[in-house]
A and B are shown apart, each in its own frame.
Chain A
Amino acid sequence: MFNNQEIKSDDIISLTNTLRWELGIDFHDKIIESIYADASKIAKQSIQIEDAKNSTILDQKIDNIITSKWFGFPIMFLLLAIVFWITVAGANIPSSWLAAILLDTIHPFLKNIASQIGMPWWLDGVLIDGAYMAFAWVVSVMLPPMAIFFPLFTLLEDLGYLPRVAFNMDSLFRKAGAHGKQALTMSMGFGCNAAGVVATRVIDSPRERLIAIITNNFSLCNGRWPTQILIATIFIGGLVPSHWAGLVSAGAVVSIAVLGIVFSLLVSWGLSKSILRGQASTFSLELPPYRPPRILQTLYTSLIDRTILVLWRAIAFTIPAGIIIWLVANIYIGELSLAEYFIDWANPFAFYFGLNGVILLAYIIAIPANEIVIPTILMLTVINSGLTGIGEGAGVMFELDSVADTKRILTAGGWTLLTAINLMLFSLLHNPCSTTLYTIYKETKSIKWTAISALLPLTIGFIVCFFVTQLWLLFSS
């Protein structure tokens, strides 16, 4: 016991420092080397590799095809196209079922009950037309594509194919200062940006991960495809003879998506050269052996981990937004509703960007999900232009089955081809939805990066729309 007192812990620490100076700079490496040396000795005693040549021959053959110059990219595009096609084609049916149940059956049913129990009109409006409607909309539009897209993607991941895609694409992404795995988080973003942001966890280098998170929003997500398709069909498809219309409008939508990829790469490059220049960066990409995927397990986990997680967050944000949407359309100050006040106030400013007050208001109040932007725009346009006989009343979002009717509403709201093009651009280049923003905050734990992720695309969006509009006006006058 007495002996203990002789040695002070501070002495031990200062001895440590002296020893460390004597050891020099590379002793850490030496430790690891000695451990590996022992590991190798033990491994030699206990591992036998029979016929090393034969061992990975199948994997090698598959790899040689998948990463070859000629087959690599066609295979990749083909597989991704199949995944998207299955998603789009497959989601339609359950989506219309859900819409039929949630929007067309339960909504009137709830309204009915509300009127029977004598609920005051404003409470009925806030709860059923606002909150419930937004919830129903998000579930019916968001759930089916995600429930199809994520399992398919996860299957490719489990199989071991996705790391090979990253391997092939790295060359391109390296030039943009990013990581090859960003190709995957980007593709995931085409399904849902929030899920794409979560998926950036596989990028193990801090700088490249931040780049992938901030630029994920440039992937045109599931919630924005319908907007693009609708507007392109009405305004761009309408420019050409009807037998070309489908092709031309599809081309317009695809160009927007490609423009998104171009922006994603450009912004990645810019970020890696400016604000993220100093962040640490490493690269290593393990190509795991191909494994037969476990279908049921995959279905279950991708549903729980990705679909439900994202859907839950989206619902949590949409319900309050639904209430706000209803309120701005129904709270009146004097003659005009809050919505009309804002629209009138914002119009002169919005026109410089080729947009209008309705669009700006819709993007502000429909921030929880891009899915509800178009219904909100339609509802606001109807209120603002004083159309009657269309829609479900103030504050109730709606969509029309007929494209021609939708066109009528929008033209009555003063929309032109220029407005349509700018809406398509702005739909690609604006702040991420609040679900994604919340996810970004969760992943980065930083308000700074969340703010940058929101403001950067928004600024780019306004700049692009401004120049497109002004140049258009310059050349058309």
Chain B
Amino acid sequence: MSKQRGCENCQAYRKEQLIRLGIEIDQYDYVIALAGNPNTGKSTVFNNLTGLRQHTGNWPGKTVTRAEGGYSYAGKQYKLVDLPGTYSLLSTSKEEEVARDFILFGQPDVTVIVADATRLERNLNLVLQILEITDKAVLCLNLMDEAERNHIKINDRALSKALGIPVVTAVARQKKGMDVLINTIENVATGKYVCKPHRIKSFSPKLDHAVALLVEKLSRKFKNIPNLNWVALRLLEGDQHIIEAVRTEELGQLSENLKSV
């Protein structure tokens, strides 16, 4: 931490308070999920925050196992869960199942989505899918240096407004933007920043109708679930975990948990 880069004078700079805990984390106040497309530098962000050194490489899909680590910031302990890198959350592959189920059933306090600024449009596919599931998310736009080199300008404010979640620009390889990210995570976790996530308004008329029918039935059975549209969509996709959760009424439990938080 001897090299201090980036915005040293701005308010967000409270890096002294960051203590990297590596994997030694048994008690924590918040759970943070780290999601993103493969090869976006997700593991680098993870390593920066936890001080661990997972191997990273210029290949898609380097991280195979789910990694956990932790850090402490401003007196609070954060557990960081690095989910497998996926392009989407809608198919039946094992990685996607792990990521999808953790975000829905694991109920992380904040989901940090790491996106490649040079391929933002493709990355937004995953971002929008995650926003269908969870309310509390932060978008970390990584590889901003490469975007700059390729003359890609991103209006992060407009993006934040369109998505309804905070957007942090970063260059994780040079540890730029990590301080702001940590601060933003805190703001979302503690509720200082209230997300109004973008939700897909309409699919096809036929599908909209089907979703509406299911949501109506579900809402009478399971109250206080914020993302019933997603549950309905997953039911229509035949997701076994969701079907089980509906059948065993575990889904209701989920809303109970939400209330108590």
Contacts and interface: CB of A to CB of B under 8 A. Distances in A.
Interface string A38-62: 1110110111111110111000000
Nearest to B124: A39
Interface of B: 39, 53, 55-62, 64, 88, 90, 118, 120-122, 124-125, 127-129, 146, 150-156, 158-159, 162-163, 173, 198, 200-204, 206-207, 210, 213-214, 217-218, 220-221, 233, 235-238, 243, 246-249
Interface in A138-161: 154, 157-160
Contacts of A304: 53, 55
A12 B236 contact: no
Contacts of B248: 9
A419 B128 CA distance: 66
B58 to A, nearest CB: 5
Given A12-B221, A34-B203, A294-B173, A42 B64 contact: no
Contact of B162 (A3, A4, A45): A45
B217 A20 contact: no
B152 A46 contact: no
A23 B207 contact: yes
A6 interface: yes
Interface stretch (A25-33, A94-102, A227-235, A365-373): A25-33
Interface string A327-356: 000000000000000000000000000000
Given A32-B125, A43-B121, A50-B152, 17 more contacts: A7-B217, A12-B214, A16-B243, A19-B210, A19-B236, A32-B90, A38-B198, A45-B155, A46-B154, A46-B155, A48-B152, A55-B152, A157-B57, A202-B59, A289-B146, A291-B58, A291-B146
Most buried by B among A31, A43, A46: A46
A352 B154 CA distance: 72
29 contacts: A4-B221, A9-B248, A13-B246, A15-B213, A16-B214, A19-B213, A20-B236, A23-B236, A27-B206, A35-B125, A35-B129, A38-B124, A38-B198, A39-B125, A39-B128, A42-B128, A43-B120, A45-B155, A45-B159, A46-B120, A46-B155, A47-B120, A47-B121, A48-B155, A54-B151, A157-B57, A158-B58, A201-B61, A202-B59
A401 interface: no
Given A13-B246, A30-B204, A286-B60, A51 B151 contact: yes
B47 to A, nearest CB: 10
B22 to A, nearest CB: 14
- By Cβ-Cβ distance, the 8 closest A-B pairs, closest first, are A39-B124, A43-B121, A46-B159, A48-B153, A50-B151, A19-B210, A305-B55, A46-B158
A414 B222 CA distance: 82
B256 to A, nearest CB: 13
B68 to A, nearest CB: 18
Nearest to B152: A49
A45 B204 CA distance: 23
Nearest to A184: B59
Contacts of A35: 125, 128-129, 200
Given A9-B247, A22-B210, A42 B88 contact: no
A158 to B, nearest CB: 5
